[in-house]
Homo-oligomer: A and B are copies of this chain.
């Protein structure tokens, strides 16, 4: 048991029971304020602990950390490249400093002022410089839904799907943080009943509800990560919106896969929840039948029980809950994904992002995209204000929230929230 996960811990900072950021979470992110340039922080309730300030106050002096400048950086990469023992050491020390029986910050007003920032006064940034981005396709229900709509309803899954975690390389440069506007992309589309394609704004803008993990350890080209080693490479997880333009994707994607239908933007939540903080929320995965090849076998509980919610907020209205899903629905787990990714010797870099693919449950209310929720536009969603949606409209804001909960402890991700603006 990791000490910082103890459900009996309490902080001297007052934290609402609904907060995503109790003392058992302690996610890492990059923030700035008008007086603090970008740096590493840890979320605690409605506050951010400024780790660079904590260093400067000498409160990390007993750690084995050699270079405190890793916390004075525009990305988490320098910190996470120090490796898992250091991620743990820092998280345990932060937990200690924030515990209600620890006076080091609590009873020193000057130190507290230096180290604590109100969330509402901070701007959150993209937490990681992303080297490589893979998008998997690991939800059986999502792959089945897509197959039912676009391929053979008799056998919606392609023959390879249950043998390997299907995935593809995505565009890293266009991954941005929550809050960034999403401009409606233009592209080539071709209607089924026309001979020639046209160029213009997509008419089928969609979200995809995903989570993604970030690697904190590199490998050499030609080496492999086994399923039972994967946890040493995974720093933490974020919510991920894999924005998609369905009409662009449909026309372009044969034979080499999604390209401009995805690469206009992807958005992530700014707080990286460590794999350590999610340990108490492990659950068994689904039975994998037919059995997987030996390099994809795994032992223990490698799936996670994270509740996911999607809200759609039309311009000037309240957000409406339109989907509820859960990462436990995933067929393939992160350990299998990483073992597969490296099974050909492909090297990992610090800051790589590996996304799950759209996470859909078995019920229509748990589908992770408008494509599925409206069954390709054939069953429009009706919103509380009476408006309907097949795909997304300009002015809509899409909000993902996610949290794990057990024994009264809620470890959450905050949100990824982006508003759609007209084509530039």
Residues on A facing B (Cβ under 8 Å)? 131-132, 134-135, 137, 151, 158-160, 163-164, 166-174, 176, 180, 183, 185-188, 190, 196-199, 221-223, 245, 248, 251-261, 263-265, 290, 293-295, 340-341, 343-349, 352, 424
- A117 vs B257: C-alpha distance in the bound complex, in angstroms? 45
Residues of B within 8 A of A248 (CB): 344
Taking a contact as CB atoms under 8 Å apart, the answer to whether A346 and B260 are in contact is yes
Query: Beyond A168-B258, A169-B259, A260-B343: 6 further Cβ-contacts under 8 Å?
Result: A158-B254, A160-B197, A166-B256, A168-B168, A183-B222, A199-B294
Taking a contact as CB atoms under 8 Å apart, the answer to whether B137 and A349 are in contact is no
If A167-B259, A222-B183, A259-B168 touch, whether A132 touches B346 (CB-CB below 8 Å) is: no
Number of copies: 2
Partner of A221, one of B223, B245, B265: B265
Residues of B within 8 A of A263 (CB): 169, 344, 346
- A13 vs B265: C-alpha distance in the bound complex, in angstroms? 50
Residues of B within 8 A of A265 (CB): 221, 345
Taking a contact as CB atoms under 8 Å apart, the answer to whether B424 and A173 are in contact is no
- Closest B residue to A340 using CB positions: B260
If A183-B222, A222-B183 touch, whether A131 touches B173 (CB-CB below 8 Å) is: yes
Partner of A252, one of B160, B173, B259: B160
- Closest B residue to A256 using CB positions: B168
Residues of B within 8 A of A163 (CB): 188, 190, 196-197
